[in-house]
């Protein structure tokens, strides 16, 4: 092989490497302003429609953020959590962890408004990612730029939820493994758990900690005993309907108070308390609790962008659904 051919060969291999790196850093085809030419007003329409709901019912922000999280952890951020069950398939939507999700009507209203402007262009997966961001921002939480170009998946299977979605009873080892499987690190785990600064939980998500932690009628020793007394006043052993604030006193406000509670052993779920069982996650909790969340907003924005890129479908993969609850 002559020098010229060797040089060409080397340059070609470098070009392939550059393409691979740029493709990876571009989250497999996602980019900012993706709809700039095909639906220039898409993000404005989505934001205005979302505001119509959040301005009237700010408590919808938490379930909409949670919906995006539940979507991304099962099959990637492909809108699979939005699909209805059919005669032949029970979808993610009907799995027990997703039965308490609210806000599907917001996604449907946004999709309808976007379809009117640009039929068949904007995916439900992108809509969910933007609605989650806008909802958090509208209750004075952080704002982040959302790379777009996700396509909608055609598959949604109930059993995958239990295998992929971190449970409220998960310990720190399980949580770290489940996040790592999605390309998210220990810091992302500590940061994204902070989403529990807003929203509520049914008693059933934590009553085992109050009444029967190891099957002997005992309480969870990792929880502040005074807090257990307060929670017992709200939740009786077999209560499946009562809702309790995740971040009492500021559950409608996106702030760092969650970390202050966790640091005081008042995290509501086992998965919240588990953050104190690892040196890195514990250090993050203490940092935010002691500095009024000095880096929380910035960190949350960064981790949300990262989570929003998990397992996305792009290019010719998947489809653009006409209605978010149904495959085309």
* 315 located within any domain: no
Q: Are residues 240 and 202 in the same domain?
A: yes
Pair (189, 218) in one structural domain: yes
Alpha-carbon distance 228 to 146, whole Å? Answer: 39
Q: Of 1-5, 97-101, 272-276, 287-291, which range is least confident?
A: 1-5
The residue from 122, 148, 163 where one domain ends is: 163
Residue 81 marked ligand-binding: no
Q: What does the pLDDT average to over 38-63?
A: 97
Residues 265 and 179 in one domain: yes
Residue 4 CB-density burial (10 A; 0-12 exposed, 13-18 middle, 19+ buried): exposed
pLDDT tens profile 19-43:
344 334 336 689 999 999 999 999 9
Residue 196 assigned ligand-binding role: yes
Beta-carbon-side half-sphere exposure of residue 49 (alpha carbons within 13 Å): 25
Domain boundary among 163, 197, 227: 163
Q: pLDDT band for position 257 (50/70/90)?
A: very high
In a domain, 15, yes or no: no
The model's pTM: 0.90
Structural domain of residue 139, as residue ranges? 41-163
Instruction: State the pLDDT confidence band at 2, using cuts at 50, 70 and 90.
Output: low
Distances (CA, A) of 146 to 12, 94, 128, 137, 308: 33, 28, 11, 13, 8
Q: What is the pLDDT at residue 264?
A: 97
Catalytic residues: 70
- 294 among annotated binding-site residues: no
Task: Please check if 166 is assigned to a binding site.
Answer: yes
Q: What percent of the chain has pLDDT over 70?
A: 91
Annotated binding-site residue? 197: yes
Classify residue 13: in a domain, yes or no.
no
237 is in an annotated binding site: no
pLDDT higher for 240 or 17? Answer: 240
For the record, the structure tokens of 159 come out as 């059993």
Same domain for 180 and 54: no
pLDDT at 26: 39
Total domains, the chain: 2
* Alpha carbons 161 and 98: distance in angstroms, whole number: 9
Instruction: Report residue 3's pLDDT band, with 50, 70 and 90 as the boundaries.
Output: low
For residue 6, is it within any domain?
no
Residue 5's pLDDT is 52
Helix (H) or strand (E) holding 63: helix 61-73
Answer yes or no: is 80 a known binding residue: yes
* pLDDT (mean) for 277-301: 97
pLDDT of residue 172: 98
**What are the structure tokens assigned to 50, written together?**
């979302």
**Structural domain contains residue 22:** no
Q: What is the mean pLDDT of residues 133-152?
A: 97
- Is 328 within the bounds of a domain? no
Encode pLDDT of 268-287 as tens digits: 999 999 999 999 999 999 99
Mean pLDDT of 62-88: 97
Is residue 214 a known part of a binding site? no
Q: 10 vs 303, which has greater pLDDT?
A: 303
Could you give the 3-state DSSP secondary structure of residue 59? Answer: helix
User: Residue 18's pLDDT band (boundaries 50, 70, 90)?
Assistant: very low
Average pLDDT of the chain, as a whole number: 92
Do residues 182 and 294 both lie within one domain? Answer: yes
Q: Looking at residue 138, which CATH number applies to its domain?
A: 1.10.520.10
Q: Identify the burial level of 9 via C-beta atoms within 10 angstroms of its C-beta, where 0-12 means exposed, 13-18 middle and 19 or more buried.
A: exposed
Q: What are phi and psi of 178, to 5 degrees?
A: -70, -35
Q: Is the dihedral of CA 234, 94, 153, 312 positive or negative?
A: positive
Name the pLDDT band for 12 (thresholds 50, 70, 90): very low
Name the domain boundary from 141, 163, 185: 163
Going by C-alpha positions, the residue among 2, 131, 115 that lies closest to residue 54 is 131
């Amino acid at each position: 092989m002559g020098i010229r051919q060797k040089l060409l060969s080397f340059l070609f291999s470098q070009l392939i490497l550059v393409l691979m790196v740029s493709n990876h850093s571009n989250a497999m085809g996602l980019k900012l302003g993706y709809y700039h030419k095909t639906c220039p007003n898409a993000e404005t329409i989505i934001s205005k429609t979302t505001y119509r709901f959040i301005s009237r019912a700010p408590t919808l922000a938490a379930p909409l953020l949670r919906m995006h999280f539940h979507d991304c952890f099962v099959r990637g951020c492909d809108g699979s959590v939005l699909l209805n069950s059919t005669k032949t398939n029970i979808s993610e939507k009907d799995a027990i962890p997703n039965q308490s999700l609210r806000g599907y009507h917001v996604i449907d209203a946004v999709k309808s408004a976007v379809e009117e402007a640009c039929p068949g262009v904007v995916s439900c997966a992108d809509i969910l990612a933007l609605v989650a961001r806008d909802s958090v921002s509208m209750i004075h939480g952080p704002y982040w730029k959302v790379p777009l170009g996700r396509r909608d998946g055609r598959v949604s299977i109930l059993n995958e939820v239990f295998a992929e979605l971190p449970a409220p009873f998960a310990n720190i080892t399980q949580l770290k493994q489940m996040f790592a499987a999605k390309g998210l690190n220990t810091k992302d785990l500590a940061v994204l758990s902070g989403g529990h600064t807003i929203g509520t939980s049914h008693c059933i998500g934590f009553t085992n900690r109050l009444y029967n932690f190891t099957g002997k009628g005992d309480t969870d020793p990792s929880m502040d005993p005074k807090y257990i007394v307060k929670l017992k006043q709200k939740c009786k052993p077999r209560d499946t309907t009562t809702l309790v604030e995740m971040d009492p006193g500021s559950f409608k406000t996106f702030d760092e108070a969650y970390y202050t509670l966790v640091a005081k052993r008042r995290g509501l779920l086992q998965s919240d308390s588990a953050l104190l069982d690892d040196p890195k996650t514990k250090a993050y909790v203490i940092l935010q609790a002691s500095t009024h969340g000095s880096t929380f907003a910035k960190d949350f924005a960064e981790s949300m962008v990262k989570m929003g890129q998990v397992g996305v479908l792009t290019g010719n993969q998947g489809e653009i659904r006409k209605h978010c609850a149904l495959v085309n």
